[in-house]
Amino acid sequence: AKAAKVDRPIVFDQVLRDKAQKRLYIENELRDVISRDELTLFYQPIVDLESGDFRGVEALIRWFHPESGMIPPDEFISIAEEMDLIIPVGNFVLNEACRQLNRWRKTLGPLAPANLHVNVSRKQLEHPTLVTVVKNVLRKYEIPPECLHLEVTESIIMHDREISVSTLNELKKLGVNIDVDDFGTGYSSLSCLCDFPIDVLKLDREFVKKSDRDREVMLIEALIILAEKLGLEVIAEGIENAEQLALLQALGCRLGQGYFFSKPLIAADLEQAILKEDWP
Ligand code: C2E
Ligand code: CA
Ligand code: CA
Ligand code: CA
């Protein structure tokens, strides 16, 4: 019993140390990640649930480290944010995604993604250069602003409401779309729909995951009706099987993404999938 008591803090310590070490490692490696050219974007299709038509893509960042392999965004985005590296990383994402869309518009013509969704972090939204960066990248790659969707979570826009309202309004003036990501998981979900200029609700994956339960179904249904009344589009995230798809279709959800259609793909594979119309 005595040994067990002593053991605990040691084990705990070990975990902490490993976590701290992992963090330190990521911090160090992140510092010049852009100049080392290790970041890349994957693209996940967004599909019209009624017609099956391909509607657009969400750009998702990946970090391929020469020794550690793929480090997923959940492991490094928040660290990049704390280190203020999210500004160059976020600029990389915007530039790279728009560069790729420009290529697709040239090579695929009408088959090119009509909508490009890019995730924006809190520091990016609160950074004074965001509007200029977006404006310049759209011009540089000749992308119609209505093609671009900036995805922000509720907690991001609620963090500093004044900055958010004015920045989002300026972005709207450019003509880009604002999507609320992970909708339904944060606080004040409903009031943010009134106070901010929003175009799309992205229904969090958790709702879809639990859509075998009556209450979740009612909630999804109510949110879809609410969105319709407010003139917003809904994109359901995390559709993994035919049952979930059928349910969302029955509830009138127009758009969705998830492994059932496709995992996030590298640009070349997405291109192939588009040409073969390779989704359920
Ligand atoms: P998110 O914006 O909610 O992105 C959706 C996540 O769900 C992605 O994880 C995607 O791969 C995953 N996903 C898609 N379909 C399914 C499905 O059917 N089932 C399941 N279980 N998962 C699915 P990923 O790529 O690992 O990204 C995680 C998070 O990292 C993103 O969540 C986003 O918050 C953040 N992130 C990714 N790329 C960027 C970026 O370029 N900038 C910023 N600021 N954040 C990013
Ligand atoms: Ca997102
Ligand atoms: Ca999401
Ligand atoms: Ca999420």
CA-81 nearest atom, ligand 1 = 44
Question: Over the stretch 140-154, which tens digit does the pLDDT of each residue have?
Answer: 999 999 999 999 999
Residue located nearest, by CA, to atom 17 of ligand 1: 238
Question: Over the stretch 100-113, which tens digit does the pLDDT of each residue have?
Answer: 999 999 999 999 99
Kindly state the average pLDDT of the residues 247-255.
97
**What is the pLDDT at residue 234?**
97
Distance CA 51, CA 87 (A): 38
DSSP line for 108-149: TGGGS-SEEEEE--HHHHHSTTHHHHHHHHHHHTT--GGGEE
Ligand 1 in reach of 72 Cβ (< 6 A): yes
Query: Residue 46 CA: which ligand is closest?
Result: 1
**What is the pLDDT at residue 1?**
41
CA of 181 to the centre of ligand 2 (A): 5
Ligand 1 in reach of 238 Cβ (< 6 A): yes
Distance CA 125, CA 164 (A): 7
The complex scores an ipTM of: 0.97
**What is the pLDDT at residue 188?**
62
Closest CA to 258 of 212, 191, 180, 202: 202
Closest CA to 227 of 190, 195, 271, 263: 190
Ligand 1 in reach of 44 Cβ (< 6 A): yes
**What is the pLDDT at residue 2?**
41
CA of 141 to the centre of ligand 2 (A): 22
**What is the pLDDT at residue 18?**
82
Question: Over the stretch 49-99, which tens digit does the pLDDT of each residue have?
Answer: 999 999 999 999 999 998 888 999 999 999 999 999 999 999 999 999 999
CA of 206 to the centre of ligand 3 (A): 10
Ligand 1 in reach of 119 Cβ (< 6 A): yes
Ligand 1 in reach of 74 Cβ (< 6 A): yes
Residue located nearest, by CA, to atom 11 of ligand 1: 264
187 pLDDT band, cuts 50/70/90, is low
In DSSP terms, 70 is beta-bridged to 64
pTM: 0.93
Residue located nearest, by CA, to atom 27 of ligand 1: 73
- The residue type of 81 is E
Residue 217 or 16, more confident: 217
**What is the pLDDT at residue 256?**
98
**What is the pLDDT at residue 50?**
94
Structure token pair of residue 68: 């550690």
% of the chain residues with pLDDT over 90: 77
